[in-house]
């Protein structure tokens, strides 16, 4: 097997700060050209901003949605790239507008902020921001519900195996599913610790698993464990971040899952929102509401530079409309001559 092309910073370690920006691209050729050219410029921009504090490990992953891919690139779209599929159960997972994803990470929030500012300045009207989240690490990698988040992430060689496409034209790339969740902390904190633990499937203090026999089938840990036909667990790489505004009463989690196959993440979400078995949905959704949803593909770093030169062929010009004859002829309303 050939070595994978160098990926973008999909498999980078968890960071102390992150900024996630999702935007749409106007349907005009000038905007398409600007975004396409930016693919080759992003790495240099990250280096320029990050050089001021190399130890902060500034990175940025750029991904594209299914609808914008053929407008931007001549290269065939990745096989698993499609619009985010909304889910409708007791609670909904909506699909929201998004052509482009920027996932910026660093050990300092000011670098994330500076890079996002430079990205928007470089793209100008070619990118219309749809939503943004500035995330932070909360204590010992906990979410704002008080539980450690991302415990089931793979480690070592299992990380690229879970996150990166292994072969084919899009090897080294990764599928990213992104959702913004808002928490009802008053209602959540109204539960006692034991009730919270049964919903999550872990002990709150020490993060240890609760035995499956002691849990309801709707426990979050059980519904988000996905296996193949041989019983082997299928993994994704989560890079979730808490975010919020105490003054605005907004508290949430940004879910971002990288996967070699988006079907793994989609199965987890179906289990959560629709239930496994159907109807037995994840009770965490009674307290945590999804307000965005998008699916993107982040090409390998080398492929990203190649895509800058991969403009699709221009659409063929429309054929001119046939001109109507200037006078009336056969079949006209003129009466036939007589005499």
Terminal alpha carbon distance of the chain: 90
306 assigned to active site: no
Question: Is the separation of the CB atoms in 233 and 225 below 8 Å?
Answer: yes
At 69 the three-state DSSP class reads helix
Q: DSSP string of 111-140?
A: HHHHHHHHHHHHHGGG-EEEEEEEEE-BTT
**Alpha-carbon dihedral angle through residues 37, 38, 41, 47, given to the nearest 10 degrees:** 180
Percent of residues in the chain assigned helix, strand, coil, to nearest 5: 30, 25, 45
Q: DSSP string of 252-314?
A: EEEEEEEESSHHHHHHHHHHHHHTTTTT---GGGGTEEE---EEEEE--HHHHHHHTT-PPPP
CA nearest to 176, candidates 257, 251, 239? 257
CA distance 266 to 263: 5
Catalytic-labelled residue, pool 99, 143, 149, 276: 149
Question: Is the separation of the CB atoms in 237 and 258 below 8 Å?
Answer: yes
Q: DSSP string of 179-227?
A: EEEEE-HHHHHTS-HHHHHHHHTB-TTT-PBPPGGGS-TT-HHHHT-EE
Show Cβ contacts of residue 265 under 8 Å, excluding neighbours closer than 6 positions: 175, 177, 236, 257, 259
Question: Is the separation of the CB atoms in 74 and 312 below 8 Å?
Answer: yes
Which residues carry out catalysis? 149
């Amino acid at each position: 097997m050939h070595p994978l092309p160098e990926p973008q910073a999909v498999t980078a370690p968890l960071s102390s700060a992150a900024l996630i920006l999702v935007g749409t691209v106007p349907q005009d050729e000038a905007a398409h050209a600007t975004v396409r050219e930016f693919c080759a410029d992003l790495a240099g921009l990250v280096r320029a901003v990050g050089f001021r504090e190399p130890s902060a490990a500034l990175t940025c992953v750029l991904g594209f949605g299914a609808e914008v891919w053929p407008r931007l690139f001549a290269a065939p779209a990745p096989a698993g790239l499609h619009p985010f599929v909304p889910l409708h159960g007791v609670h909904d997972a909506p699909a929201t507008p998004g052509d482009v994803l920027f996932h910026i990470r660093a050990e300092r929030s000011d670098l994330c902020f500076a890079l996002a500012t430079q990205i928007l300045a470089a793209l100008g009207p070619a990118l219309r921001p749809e939503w943004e989240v500035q995330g932070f690490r909360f204590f010992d990698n906990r979410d704002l519900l008080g539980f450690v988040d991302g415990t089931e992430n793979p480690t070592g060689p299992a990380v690229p195996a879970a996150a990166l496409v292994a072969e084919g034209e899009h090897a080294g790339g990764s599928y990213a599913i992104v959702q913004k969740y808002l928490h009802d902390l008053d209602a959540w904190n109204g539960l006692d610790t034991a009730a919270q633990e049964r919903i999550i499937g872990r002990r709150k203090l020490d993060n240890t698993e609760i035995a499956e026999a002691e849990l309801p089938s709707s426990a979050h840990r059980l519904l988000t464990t996905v296996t193949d036909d041989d019983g082997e667990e299928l993994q994704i790489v989560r890079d979730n971040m808490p975010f919020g505004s105490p003054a605005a009463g907004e508290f949430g989690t940004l879910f971002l899952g990288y996967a070699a196959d988006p079907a793994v993440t989609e199965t987890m979400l179906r289990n959560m929102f629709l239930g496994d078995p159907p109807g037995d949905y994840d009770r965490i959704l009674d307290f945590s509401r999804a307000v965005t949803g998008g699916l993107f593909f982040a090409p390998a770093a080398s492929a990203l530079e190649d895509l800058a030169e991969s403009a699709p062929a221009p659409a063929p010009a429309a054929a001119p409309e046939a001109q109507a004859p200037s006078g009336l002829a056969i079949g006209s309303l003129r009466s036939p001559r007589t005499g």
